[in-house]
Structure 1
Amino acid sequence: MHAPYASDPTRARGRRVAEEESTFRSCYQRDRDRIIHASAFRRLKHKTQVFVEHEGDYYRTRLTHSIEVAQVARTIAGALGLNGELTEAVALAHDLGHTPFGHTGEDALHALMAPYGGFDHNAQAIRIVTRLERHYAEFDGLNLTWDTLEGIAKHNGPVTPLRGDGPVTPLRGDGSVTPLRGDGQIVGELPYALAEYDAQHDLELYTHASAEAQVAALSDDIAYNNHDLHDGLRAGLFTEDEIAELPLVGPAYAQVDRLYPETDSYRRRHEALRRVFGVMVADVIDTSRALLEGSGAQSPAEIRHLGRPVIRFSPAMWQDLRQIRDFLFARMYRAPQVMAERARVTKVVEELFPLFLTQPDLMPRHWARQIEEAAQDRTTLARMVSDYIAGMTDRFALQEHARLIGTS
């Protein structure tokens, strides 16, 4: 039984190109299925989460991460009476716009694209599902419902200031206000890929997204907080004794040691971290249920216009997670071996971009028509090059760099 503020597929806000409805799938199911069958979704298999894809078969990739996020999101949505199909669609699509080499690749591409509007992976996900996937006869992209597109664009919170007065509040964090300039605009311009589409199809970027999309965002936090501890241990970047000093993690290890004093190290680790996982999920459910009930919202529209998120961690949980993130930042994301690899792959992106910009004929033949159209406009060409590089897997980017420039 869905709550009154849950998104209802029979009242979805439609697709940009009208289609006949399926007789056996809801519109949100079709969105989810189209995302799963998208080429960009398959490529996530060979895109990194933290470690470069080839470094080990057991580390998370963007694909396995997205599947884990969707699993968490389905659980939370079900517990809160929300629409699980829309939640899952947004969760599965949330990382489609990521470049090779994770946030390192994104940072490099954003710097290179600064003269041409920058690069943002959330905006790129919208570009992919509305333009770059070209498999259907009647439209470019996947022709997803407005509801799913909105969730992809702003699952982390409003992207532009509220209409009227008052600043926006972020979905993640401790409730602090997004920094604004004196003229009331958010610091930094709206990513061109998002601005371009929003001008054609208003996604109401000034409001929060549906509760389902907010669930997808918090599920992302839960998944990476958990699996980055797993992957960091496997990589030998820190020890179990060290993470046992962290909030949430220490009590989980203590509980496992009481219940299973003779268990081996691998099982002990798994049992402890799955308990951490469960505590985070339970906290979001309990906190969000109270926020939803207290909001008085009786429709998805009222959720969007509350001016604050309704899917949150409790303040105490947020503080604990900040300590865990600080630890991971120092010991994992900025570990010397990770930083060395970041420098190497940054160079790959920095050298491929100008090469393709000056010699676009080096790109595959099926890009030829677009190259011809872009030849007279450097900004259009740069964005096309950005699309091409952003779509690369880690493996392919390294192979192309070695083939065209030489192994770094």
Structure 2
Amino acid sequence: MTVPTWVWAATIALILAMLVYDFVFHTRKAHVPSLKEAAVWSAVYVGIAVVFGLVVLWFGGGTMGGEYFAGYITEKALSVDNLFVFLIIMTSFKVPREDQQKVLLFGIVFALIARTGFIFLGAALINQFAWVFYLFGLILILTAGNMLKGEVSDDDPHDNENFMVKVARKLVHTSPEYDGDKLFTEIDGKRVLTPMLLVMVAIGGTDILFALDSIPAIFGLTQNTFIVFTATAFSLLGLRQLFFLIEGLLERLIYLSYGLAAILAFIGVKLILHALHENNLPFINGGEPIEVTEISTAVSLGVILGLLTITVVASLVSKKGRAKVAIGNARRHVNAYLDLDYTADEGERERVYCKLVEEAEQVRSLGPESKRMMRDETELMEKIEKARQQHEEATGAKVDNPAP
């Protein structure tokens, strides 16, 4: 189905209006969003995406609507995985919590620009060269394999995604401290870069890497450029609010990478089957198409939803996984507590310490095996005791050791 130019224009105007509104009314003034604010606006953005999908379904028909929802769900799931890396980057650079919204909004805008470029490049390649489907399929299958390999072999499954952080640190030299959300500041009368620019370089570079598996994935579900663009755009909009809503739950999704790997592998196979059906490469079947069974949009949507459901449920019910998550969150919060000079928020000390106590309580509630796992983390236990002493000094009241 050919989409009229005025529909393209109206859709792009809607997306730009949402970004402008987000900046003017939410991120221009530095603040930490409340859970209620994050929940309400996450629901609003998801609601807008769903309504848009229903409009596509009404005017474009079942196939087009199904492709939109399959693409939106896939891209949304991949974007949630991206939040892990955004969290690592902002923790690594000690971004003040009240300024994290602007960093995330920059990441969303940059991702939208970068992926739009990849979308039109991919569409042009597909129109000219049918063999691109083989390439996209291979990329997705290799990406799935790398995700599984990383999960199995690495204690920190997302450590390899810190590549852009390391590159950014080498390329950009900045002042040691932040100056609000400014990119430049003055030290001894000299204008210098702040770490905020470094964070944005890392976020932007990481977004480009994400696009390398994100765009082939959605092209595996539809070749309609309008659907690819809108599903990608609406999956990114609202990502900032989602970050603050599920920040504490991100680490709970311990099997998310397995689910995403399965989805990418499935779409990769779907792409290769489509490539065989459209084959014109002379060294494959003499350049003639091969009659193979292609996977329908309805089946794709069902498989994607099924894999995500299994992944989320398995993550949430696994006791060992919950213990690992609580210990990981405790490690992150104790490190943040012991280095709170980077924020001006007076309530941050209490918030972080309360999080640390909650995570230690969670480990304790999961039983002896979980407590043993945490006690084996000698360095973590020492840091928790140090944090307890500092909190006792800061509050002037005796504080029990939160460690199990």
Q: Same fold (TM over 0.5)?
A: no
Higher CA-based Rg = 2
**TM-score, length basis structure 2:** 0.30
**TM-score, length basis structure 1:** 0.30
